[in-house]
Copies of this chain bind each other. A is one copy, B any other.
Amino acid sequence: MKRNVKEKRIPQETIKRLALYLRSLKKLRKENLTIVSSNQITAHLNVTSEQFRKDISYFGSLGKRGVGYKTDILIEHLERIFGVDKERRIILVGAGKLGSALLAYPGFLNFNLRIVAAFDNDPAKIGKVLGGIKIEDISKMKKIISKIGVELAILTLPADSAQVIAEKLLDCGIKGILNFAPVNLNLPKNVYVLNVDMAAELMALTYFSKSLSKDD
């Protein structure tokens, strides 16, 4: 499928909201709702119906105002957009506390996301089994990744080792990195890096809660 110019420019926040809409839709489908309104999809997400319609419209017309959306069709559509209509396999590098938590995280499989291999360079961690995955030595990364053909990685390493290992990941053919290390990775533009910084999230909370109490 050739992507049009408009689709290319979609902001990261829109994409993250679309993922949350998909989460809502799956929950509504479990409740046997075959037709859903934008209000039902966005309930308690701090998103207006207007924002929802704008977000959805990036990918063409998907429902009629006042009629609602067919749950199944919208789910399939969003799954195709994210490329999770089929299973997506991911590797994880860094089996510390956060890495171990993500290896055991039950929420990925709901969205066809599966961590299939994990690596660390700490001899105390190598060989352990976490969340059903055996931790392998980072030195075996290239061999294992080329065998399983995975293109996405979760990086849960300390800041000081993240850059070196990220470069190794590129060398292993990785095209996208979800980076939890609190550091700006310096990588070429043909790899996509999405940063999740726990302190930045918490600071956003301090900011918005502060405005809230000032407004009262």
> Which residues in A have some Cβ–Cβ distance to B below 8 Å?
1-3, 7-8, 11-13, 15-16, 19-20, 22-24, 43-46, 81-84, 88, 90, 96-98, 100-102, 104-105, 107-108, 110-111, 113, 151-152, 154, 159, 175-178, 182, 184-187, 190-216
Contact = CB atoms under 8 A, between A and B. Distances in A.
A3 B215 CA distance: 8
A127 to B, nearest CB: 19
A24 B184 contact: yes
Contacts of A197: 16, 19-20, 23, 107
Contacts of A96: 101
Kindly list the 10 A-B residue pairs having the minimum CB-CB distance in the complex, ordered from nearest: A176-B209, A19-B200, A44-B184, A97-B101, A19-B203, A98-B101, A101-B101, A107-B199, A192-B208, A44-B186
Interface centre among A104, A154, A212 (most CB of B within 10 A): A212
A207 B98 contact: no
B15 A182 contact: no
Contact of A3 (B107, B111, B154, B211): B211
Contact of A178 (B7, B88, B97, B205): B205
A65 B95 CA distance: 43
Given A190-B216, A194-B201, 11 more contacts: A11-B13, A20-B195, A44-B184, A45-B195, A46-B193, A81-B207, A83-B207, A111-B203, A152-B209, A194-B204, A196-B196
Contacts of A8: 211, 215
Contact of A206 (B152, B193, B213): B152
B209 A192 contact: yes
B199 A113 contact: yes
Nearest to A96: B101
